[in-house]
Structure formats: structure tokens, C-alpha cells
Structure 1
């Protein structure tokens, strides 16, 4: 059981150490935003910003301190997509199940 717990901590540490990845673009349709990038260390959130009156959306990396107003920020790799990605949803459910079973 301790080996599984240790492997889980190692996996979470490696995921965090690799840096945050966010969708990044300026586009007219959120679903057309498919470019991704690794964020610099100072950025800890992904963001989406749609300005009223303009048919544009901007996505990228941001700090939690700048996440105010119309800027919608989220935590986690590629969380600023137009729809939830399959891999991130599966990892969320798997980690929740492991924590529930062993803690």
C-alpha cells in the first residue's frame, strides 16, 4: 500500500514539475483554438477572455493575481479548452478514486 501511495506522489510531482500547458490563441471561434504551449513558471493558470461586442476569444497562460473581471481562469493542463478533454476527466476520476480508497 505504501508503494502505491509513493508512486502516486511521484506521479503527481512529475506532472507538476513539467509545467502547466494551456491552449493559446486569438480566434473567432473557441473550438478553433488548438495550439498549446508550456507556460513559464510564473504563470499558474490558463485563461479564456471573450470581450463583449467583439467576435473574438483569447486564450493563454496567466497568473492567479490577474484573473479578474471578464477573464475566466482555471487550474490544470489544457483546462481552457472549449470542452472538457477526455484524458483530463479520466485522470480526475482516477485520482479521486485512489484518494477515496486509500485515505
Structure 2
């Protein structure tokens, strides 16, 4: 039982560690694979296409406009759709184990 408590605490720590966004300037939408955890104050992921170049980065919510795609989930500024995170999968598995 203590193991499950430690597991949930561990997963909660990583879930609260900040927003992660893809960071790049490229002409190939699938070529953007680098990401980082956004610093305080930058609470959105953004993707902008201008003159054939795609720019992805962390931005403050106030900077989001109609010319920019903004989102607020981990790695949401990808051209390739991302599924549920591993953290969510592990957390739901741990909760199911508690009740089974």
C-alpha cells in the first residue's frame, strides 16, 4: 500500500513540474523534436508559420493572437498529434490497482 502512495506522489511531482513545449525554427513540420520546460511567466506553447518557416516556442498567454496557434498542454504545439501522456496512464493504472 505504501508503494502506491509513493508512486502517486512521484507522478504528481512530475505532473506539476511545468509546461513543456516544442522549440524550433524549421521549414519541415515533422523536423521539430526538441522541447523544454517553459520558465515561469511563459504559460502557453505557440506555433507560428511565416514565410515558409515554422517557429515553435513558449510564450506568455498575453502574446497569443489570431496569427499564432497557442495551447496550454504538454507538447501541444506539435504537428504530429500527441496522445495521453505516460504520466496519465501510470496514474490511472495505479488508481485502478488500489480499487481492484
State whether TM-score is above 0.5: yes
CA distance in 1, matches of 2:48, 2:86: 23
Superposed counterparts of 1:5-44, under 5 Å: 11=11, 14-16=14-16, 18-44=17-43
Q: Using the TM superposition, give the Cα deviation of residue 13 of structure 1 relative to its aligned residue in structure 2, in angstroms.
A: 6.4
Gap change, CA 1:35 and 1:14, over 3 Å in 2:
closer
Gap change, CA 1:8 and 1:70, over 3 Å in 2:
farther
Which segments of 5 or more consecutive residues in structure 1 lack a partner in the other structure?
1-6, 99-103
CA-atom RMSD in angstroms: 2.7
| Corresponding position: 1:76 with 2:73 | yes
Of 32, 54, 57, which aligns to 2:54? Answer: 57
CA distance in 1, matches of 2:86, 2:80: 11
CA distance in 2, matches of 1:70, 1:77: 21
Provide the residue aligned with 2:4 in structure 1. none
Number of equivalences: 87
Which segments of 5 or more consecutive residues in structure 2 lack a partner in the other structure?
1-6, 96-100
Q: Secondary structure at the match of 1:65?
A: helix
Gap change, CA 1:89 and 1:9, over 3 Å in 2:
closer
- 1:22-70: CA deviations, max 9, x gaps? 000000011110011111011111000012xx11100010111100131
CA distance in 2, matches of 1:45, 1:10: 24
